[in-house]
Structure 1
Amino acid sequence: MRIAVIDAQGAGLGKTIIKKIHKEINLNICIIALGTNTYATSNMMKAGANFGISGEDEICSFCSANKIDSIIGPIGMICSGGIKGEITPKIASTIYNMDCTKYIIPLQKHGIYIPGTRNLQIKDIIEDIILDIKSNVDL
């Protein structure tokens, strides 16, 4: 199973997700760190990603040319200008059009509010994502 984790800035959320995947699922998982900048990619690599891709062109090329089973990231990953402007229109479009499960973490940013998510904790959202991935892993 190939899981991409996308993040920007310092990749705090991406690091947390990658560490949780390693802690909870230790079977045939390849984690790809997609960082909008090299700092984000580097931090996700330190958290345990198998390999990393940095920058708009590289992320878009990789996602278009490779089979990914799922991608995990904040809601900004599908919003042009998301994650403080680090998600370009090209990245947002590429991710939106990927043929895989998209796990969207509904951070209450970008003027987007998803009803029913107000009281959800990020740790609980990540745990729910991990449970769903576990149910899809070939054991």
Structure 2
Amino acid sequence: MKIAVIDAQGAGIGQTVIKRFRKEFKNKIYIIALGTNITATQNMLKAGANEGFCGENEIIDFCIRQNVDAIIGPIGILISGGINGEITSAVSNSIIKMNCKKYIIPLQKHGLYIPYTANLQIKDMIEDIVTDIKQNI
């Protein structure tokens, strides 16, 4: 199974997801880090991703050409200007067009409010993703 994890800034969410997946799945899954900047990409590689792609052009090219089973990231990856402007409309569009399951972590940031998610903890959201992926391996 191949999974892409996308994040921006320092990739705090991406690192957390990758570390949890490595703990649960060891090397049974192949993880690709998609970072909007070099810091995000490097941090996800340090967390255990197998390979990484950095920046708008590499992320878009990856989304168009690669075949993955799933992509995981914070909700800002779907919004042009998301994650403090690091997600361009071209990046969000390429993610939406991917032919794979998309796991979106609904953070309550940047004026976004998703009903019924206010009390959810990130670790619980990640556990839910792990459970779903276990059923698909």
TM-aligned CA deviation for residue 53 of structure 1: 0.1
**Structure 2 residue 29 is the aligned partner of structure 1 residue 29:** yes
Q: Please tell me whether residue 43 in structure 1 is matched to residue 59 in structure 2.
A: no
When normalised by structure 1's length, the TM-score is: 0.96
- Tell me the distance in 2 between the aligned counterparts of 1:28 and 1:121: 26
Contiguous gaps of at least 5 residues in structure 2: none
Query: Which shifted more, 3-12 or 24-33?
Result: 24-33
Q: Which amino acid aligns with 1:28?
A: K
The letter for the 2-side match of 1:128 is D
| Paired position in structure 1 for 2:79 | 79
Contiguous gaps of at least 5 residues in structure 1: none
Aligned to 2:118: 118
SS in 1 for 2:103: strand
CA RMSD of aligned residues (A): 0.8
1:110 shift after superposition: 2.7
Q: Which amino acid is the alignment partner of residue 81 of structure 1?
A: G
How far apart are the structure 2 equivalents of 1:101 and 1:111? 25
Q: CA deviation at 1:27?
A: 4.8
- CA distance in 2 between partners of 1:99 and 1:114 (Å): 24
- Write the distance in 1 (CA, Å) between the matches of 2:28 and 2:126: 19
How many aligned residue pairs are there? 137
> Separation in 1 of the partners of 2:105 and 2:36?
17
Normalised to the residue count of structure 2, the TM-score between the two structures is: 0.97
